[in-house]
Amino acid sequence: MSMLFSPVSLGTLTLRNRIVISPMCQYSADAGRATDWHLIHLGHLALSGAGLMFIEATAVAPEGRISPDDLGLWSDDTEAALAQVLESVRRHASTPIAIQLAHAGRKASTAAPWAGGQQLAPDQGGWQTLAPSALPFDATELPPLALDEAGLARIRDAFVDAARRAHRLGLDAIELHAAHGYLLHQFLSPLSNRRDDRYGGTLENRMRFPLEVFDAVRAVLPAGFPLGVRISATDWVDGGWDLEQSVAFARELQRRGCAFIDVSSGGLSPLQQIAVGPGYQVPFAERIRHEAGMPTITVGLITEAAQAEAIVAGGQADLVALARGMLYDPRWPWHAAAELGAQVEAPKQYWRSQPRPFAKLFRQG
């Protein structure tokens, strides 16, 4: 039996297989509200046969958006728009759906990638960014405003409010975004956090705000509801956040009831030097899995079914997530199941589509 297509539990949620669709920003919202694009995008990915699908990084406050076109979950309007999309998707797909809640911090207020991706000044449709310290991501950018304790409380409460909305929408899991150089990651890394109060300096202090956000969100969700965290295991910069600190952070999360940790890397500094190659982030997930004792999701240039199977079967990670590869091939789980002799869920309208050699590919009934 394929390990990639075996069940796995995250808290009280049991997944049919270990293939995850990563959260992928679409830059297609209207003032934070989901649009028809989200219906099309999420609808077709929900029919892929993956075990779990993440909605993209979803801002918990307007100033926490990466771009003016980012999805949000901070108001009744943004909640209602996402509810409409989810109602349609669920009508035709049984794939569990999770959401990634995020605040971009100093990396907010930028144009969409296809519009250049540069920082937008307030007179260009942007806004004042926020961060642990008044250090811009790039020297050419306007500096962020260093958050005071009232600002920290406001952002913590915004994560809590968004989590309540996500649970009310019936989403199956929540992931807090503490990776890729966004706000919670900015607190963790000594490169972006130069505070001299109880939220900066030592590792314990730098972890304090992300852990406070986790604890506050965990407190408003039912026992066993899957709440996880995405981290960058390393900044890929000397003197920055690294794997040793990630293990310590993961251990603290595990003690607090974290259901899973989604292990990525980089994104905090333009000085990063990333050694890219197939499965290049898998060793990070493996180390955290063994030393923190919680389910891990691994990502990064995982493109082949046999590669994903070997990662899971070898105990390097519990789940494998795909992003760009899933956009390029939205039926990747079907093809992986065919190669590995497994079965996937598929809508009955597609049951007659499988090639003759894979007549038993789809689980029916």
Catalytic residues: 182
DSSP annotation of 271 reads T
DSSP H or E stretch at residue 362:
strand 362-363
Cβ atoms of 229 and 217 closer than 8 Å:
no
Residues 6+ apart with CB under 8 A from 274: 236, 265, 266, 280
CB burial of 286-297 (b: ≥16 within 10 Å; e: otherwise) equals: bbbbebbebbbb
CB burial of 117-126 (b: ≥16 within 10 Å; e: otherwise) equals: eebbeeeeeb
Structure tokens at 212: 């406070």
Alpha-helical segments (H) within the chain:
36-45, 76-92, 149-168, 183-188, 203-219, 243-255, 282-292, 305-313, 324-328, 332-340
